[in-house]
Structures are given as C-alpha cells and as structure tokens.
C-alpha cells in the first residue's frame, strides 16, 4: 500500500517535472544560430536585433566562444553561421565564407599621454619589452604599462600577425580578457598602452597613428593603415533558407550602413567566395 502510494507520488512528481520542462521549451526555436568571435559578437547582435524587427517572430541567436570555436561550430553544424575575426587558415579554406566588414585594430593610450604617433618598430619594441619608458618613444618620462589580450583571442592573434611577426609579446605584460577591459584600463592609467577593435575606440582613450597614418576608415579601406582584419561569416556550405536571408540582410546596404554606424568599415556587396 505505502509502496504503491509512494510510486504514485513519484509518478505525479515526474509528470509535473516533465510538463514544466516542456513548458520551458515552448519559446520559439532559433531559426539562425551564430557563434564565434567575441569581437564580431556585439555587431552581430546589433544586426540580429535590427533584422528581427523586420521579421516578427523570427529568432536569430548570437553566441560568443571565440573565432576558433565559431569556425569549429560552423564545421560541425552546431551553429548555422560561424563568426571569425581572422582570415581562415589553409586547413579551413574548404568552408564557405563571406567578409561582412573590415575592422581596424587601434593602438590606444591614455588621453593625457603626449605621444600621438608610433612607428611599427617602436610599437613592436614596446610589446617585446625592449622599450620600457615613454621617454624612449618621445613621451614624458614614465614606465610603459603594456596591456595585451589573452592567448586564443582573435584580437591578439591579429595583433601578433600584423605587428609582432615572429617576435613574442613580453610575458610581463598585463593580460585582460576583453576589448572593454583593455579600454577601461587605458582610460584609467596614464602610462598604459593597449590595442583594441577600432569600432570600440571612444573619447576615454586616444588612438595613436602608426608611422604617421591615423586609424581612420578611409585608410583601412585603401589599405594604407596596416592594422586591419576581416570579420567573416563562415558556414559549412553556402547557407540556405533563413540563414541565407540573414546573410543577405547583413550584406545589404542597410546592414552595411548599420555596421558603419557602429564603427566598422563596410565591404562591397557580393564578396562571397
């Protein structure tokens, strides 16, 4: 008797639990899932929000994870579209990809720092730890506090490719794990130098020019400003259906205008390969 009552109670509990689970699953299923680079993520989120306004009831989900994870997710199909903030490596060239925008990497210092220009060589020697005082690169006397991103970050690997080449970043450098944290530190510390996505530079920090060329949109477009990288959407085969519709929106004049407004550099339409 008791056992049976217990069993009945257990069954009731199980039913209640499962119906609760079902109810929580009732939200609309994502029609398009994007995952990958945390540099691309905020822009993709803005695009998704704008897109969902025009398509009521449709859910476009944007997740982070990093460029490597994004490319992996696209390969395995966990995400319909992977986001990458670096060019594809040779082994990844089999994937479908399209450049949605270009992003300049800005080298930033505190607004109180008198330094306005660094050569690529000076920047490299600062990051290798050879040059340690601002007076060695034309600034006021004071220790340089070098800030870099963590291993695995797409922004860091772009900086390594574009600036450091074969040289290593001084292991004594301060490591922060987001563009926002780098910007906050540089804004607070008169001796700091850091690098971040050009679209995220604001009045709290000062972008220095490199070899006399300022980090402006025009110079990124025509290639005179060396520190730029592509923002890519990748997928396992050309997207179809809702994913294709979203990619088309991103590449449309409206989508590109949105990216420009957020500080990125738009690309010509139809750059798919």
Least distance to other proteins from the beta carbon of 64, Å? 7
E strands in 12-109: 32-36, 60-65, 81-84, 96-109
What residues have CB less than 8 Å from 149, skipping those under 6 apart?
155, 156, 159, 175, 176, 177, 182, 195
Q: Pick the stretch among 47-55, 74-82, 164-172, 215-223 that binds other proteins (CB under 8 A).
A: 164-172
Which of 53, 141, 166, 172 binds other proteins (CB under 8 A)? It is 172
Q: Pick the stretch among 154-162, 213-221, 225-233, 252-260 that binds other proteins (CB under 8 A).
A: 154-162
Residues facing 213 on adjacent strands: 210
- Let me know: does 26 contact 59? Beta carbons within 8 Å: no
H or E element at residue 3: helix 2-24
Q: Pick the stretch among 68-76, 130-138, 242-250, 263-271 that binds other proteins (CB under 8 A).
A: 68-76
Q: Pick the stretch among 9-17, 188-196, 222-230, 248-256 that binds other proteins (CB under 8 A).
A: 188-196
- Let me know: does 102 contact 267? Beta carbons within 8 Å: yes
Cβ closest to other proteins, residue 69 vs residue 247 = 69
Cβ closest to other proteins, residue 161 vs residue 254 = 161
Is 90 a binding residue for other proteins by CB under 8 A? The answer is no
- Residue 224 corresponds to which tokens in the numbers above? 């005179």
Cα R_g (the chain), whole angstroms: 23
Is 92 a binding residue for other proteins by CB under 8 A? The answer is no
Residue 165 φ/ψ region, left for φ over 0, alpha for ψ in the -120 to 50 degree band, beta for the rest: left
Which of 72, 87, 187, 214 binds other proteins (CB under 8 A)? It is 72
Enumerate binding residues for other proteins (CB under 8 A).
2, 6, 38, 64-69, 72, 143, 145, 150-154, 157, 160, 168, 170-177, 184-185, 188-189, 191-192
């Amino acid at each position: 008797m008791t056992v049976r009552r217990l069993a009945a109670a257990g069954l009731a509990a199980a039913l209640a639990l499962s119906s609760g689970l079902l109810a929580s699953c009732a939200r609309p299923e994502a029609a398009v899932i994007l995952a990958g680079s945390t540099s691309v993520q905020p822009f993709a989120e803005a695009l998704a929000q704008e897109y969902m306004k025009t398509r009521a009831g449709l859910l476009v989900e944007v997740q982070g994870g990093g460029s490597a994870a994004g490319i992996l997710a696209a390969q395995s199909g966990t995400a319909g579209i992977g986001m990458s903030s670096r060019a594809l490596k040779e082994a990844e060239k089999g994937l479908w990809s399209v450049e949605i925008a270009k992003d300049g990497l800005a080298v930033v210092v505190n607004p109180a720092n008198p330094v306005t220009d660094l050569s690529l060589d000076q920047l490299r020697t600062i990051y290798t730890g050879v040059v340690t005082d601002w007076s060695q690169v034309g600034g006021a006397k004071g220790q340089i506090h070098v800030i870099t991103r963590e291993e695995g970050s797409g922004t860091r690997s772009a900086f390594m490719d574009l600036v450091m080449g074969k040289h290593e970043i001084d292991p004594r450098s301060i490591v922060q794990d987001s563009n926002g944290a780098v910007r906050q530190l540089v804004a607070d510390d008169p001796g700091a130098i850091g690098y971040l996505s050009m679209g995220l530079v604001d009045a709290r920090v000062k972008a220095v020019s490199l070899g006399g060329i300022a980090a402006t949109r025009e110079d990124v477009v025509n290639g005179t400003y060396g520190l730029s990288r592509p923002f890519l959407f990748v997928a396992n085969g050309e997207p179809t259906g809702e994913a294709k519709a979203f990619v088309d929106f991103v590449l449309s004049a409206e989508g590109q205008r949105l990216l420009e407004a957020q500080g990125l550099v738009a690309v010509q339409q139809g750059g798919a390969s």
